Structure formats: structure tokens, C-alpha cells
């Protein structure tokens, strides 16, 4: 039996003292290759490039990113991530660990994660924010490629602000998931699901009004300076359009 791949990518952004953001740490292993791209104003931009197929069964991939005080970091990806069955038995793991210091800002906007038939993937996103930190976090998942059933996907998102929980939720979909995941109370037959978490200090004093965003999306204020947008769609294109419109509405 072939062992899965273990790989970690690390990104550290810090204020360069000249009105910009430097990247003193930018390193990756195996299928995780972070690359700096053209900066936008004071913001440093990084793209995660998939150097190999994955995650495959048995793989354990981790991305760690930190934005220091007054640093502005934007992280995206060059293409969608596709979870595939592999030669190694057992589920694959994809861990995201994000940290933002006071006065820093992190925009996590990767492309979509596709759960291919036969795959087993557990995704864990853990975000630690200091008081006064800013965050835009987008997560999009597509269950199955065109014309195929999805694999098994479990996703947990935890956000902590100043050491206190701001959001903690988990969802399981696909074969072997708890019953009802595809029913009217959860996905209602949709195959694309996503969420957008926006944290800004000004939301503490100017809370956003909860509202529906079409038939299958909602904007909900969190118990703190944050907003959660959740959305369902029949495909990834319409899911992205919904989340983009929500982010635009939030300014």
C-alpha cells in the first residue's frame, strides 16, 4: 500500500515599514507551491499553484498563513482543487490554519474545491483573529464533477476572535454522511455550496442587517464584528456569482 503525501505551505506577511507588505516566509512542499504575484497597492498577493494532483486518498496537506500587524495579505489559487481517490487507503485531509494580528487583514479567496466520485476528504479551516483584525474568507465546494455522484466530504470551519469563538460549524456530504444531507432541510438537491465570512471592527458598532440574498442564500450577522453568508446553487458558476454579489454589497 502506498503512503499518502504529507506537505505544508507556509506564508507570512508583515508590514514593510514603507506603506507596503513583505513576505519573509513563502515556502511550500509537494503539491503546494505558493507564488507571489503582482501587488495591489499596499497588499501582498499570493497564489497557490497545484504542482501535483491532489489531495488523493491518504494525503495530508496543510496551508498556514499569517498576516502581521498592519500587513495586508491576499491569498488565492491558480485553479480548482479536486479531491480524488488514490492508491493509499483512507480519507485525505486538507487543513487551513490562518492567523491575523491586530490591524492586519487577510483575504482568503481560493478557487473551488471539487469532491470527485470515490474520494474521501476532510477539510478543517481554523482561523485565529486578534482584536482589530480584518478577514474575508470564502469557501466553495462542488459535489461531483459534471454528471457524476460526489465523494465523501466533511468540512469544519472555526473562527476565533481575541480568543473567543466567533463561528464553529461542520457539514458532511456524500456517501456515508449522516442521513438527510441531500434533503430539503440541508442541500435540497443542490450540488454547490459555499460561505463567506467577513470580519471588520466597524461591524461591532454598525451591525449588518440580516437578509435573504435570493432564494438559496442568506446573510447573517455573527455575535461579534462579523458576518456569515451561506449559499446553495446548482453549479459552481452561479455559486460564485452569489458570493461575489454578497461581498460587493458589504463594500
Q: What's the pLDDT tens digit per position in 137-177?
A: 999 999 998 888 899 999 999 999 999 999 999 999 998 88
CA distance 187 to 124: 20
pLDDT at 179: 74
Residue percentage of the chain with pLDDT more than 70: 97
**Residue for cell digits 466553495?**
140
For 180-242, give the DSSP string. Answer: TTTSTTTTTT-SEEEEEEEE-GGGGTSPPPPEE-SSSEEEEE-SSSEEEEEEEESSHHHHHHH
Half-sphere exposure of 118 (CA within 13 A, CB side): 9
SS3 172: strand
Amino acid at each position: 500500500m502506498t503512503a499518502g503525501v504529507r506537505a505544508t505551505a507556509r506564508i507570512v506577511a508583515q508590514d514593510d515599514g514603507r506603506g507596503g507588505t513583505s513576505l519573509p516566509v513563502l515556502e511550500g512542499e509537494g503539491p503546494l507551491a505558493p507564488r507571489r504575484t503582482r501587488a495591489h497597492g499596499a497588499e501582498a498577493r499570493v497564489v497557490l499553484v497545484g504542482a501535483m494532483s491532489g489531495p488523493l486518498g491518504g494525503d495530508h496537506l496543510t496551508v498556514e498563513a499569517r498576516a502581521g500587524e498592519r500587513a495586508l495579505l491576499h491569498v488565492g489559487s491558480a485553479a480548482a482543487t479536486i479531491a480524488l481517490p488514490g492508491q493509499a487507503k483512507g480519507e485525505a485531509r486538507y487543513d487551513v490554519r490562518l492567523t491575523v494580528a491586530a490591524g492586519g487583514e487577510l483575504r482568503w479567496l481560493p478557487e473551488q474545491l471539487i469532491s470527485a466520485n470515490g474520494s474521501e476528504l476532510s477539510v478543517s479551516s481554523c482561523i485565529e483573529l486578534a482584536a482589530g483584525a480584518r478577514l474575508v474568507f470564502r469557501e466553495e465546494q462542488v459535489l461531483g464533477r459534471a454528471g457524476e455522484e460526489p465523494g465523501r466530504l466533511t468540512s469544519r470551519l472555526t473562527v476565533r476572535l481575541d480568543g473567543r469563538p466567533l463561528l464553529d460549524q461542520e457539514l458532511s456530504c456524500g456517501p456515508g454522511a449522516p442521513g438527510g444531507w441531500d434533503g430539503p432541510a440541508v442541500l435540497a438537491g443542490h450540488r454547490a455550496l459555499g460561505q463567506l465570512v467577513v470580519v471588520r471592527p466597524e461591524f461591532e458598532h454598525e451591525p449588518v442587517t440580516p437578509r435573504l440574498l435570493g432564494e438559496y442564500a442568506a446573510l447573517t450577522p455573527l455575535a461579534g464584528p462579523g458576518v456569515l453568508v451561506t449559499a446553495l446553487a446548482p453549479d459552481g458558476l452561479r455559486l460564485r456569482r452569489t458570493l461575489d454579489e454578497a461581498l460587493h454589497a458589504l463594500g
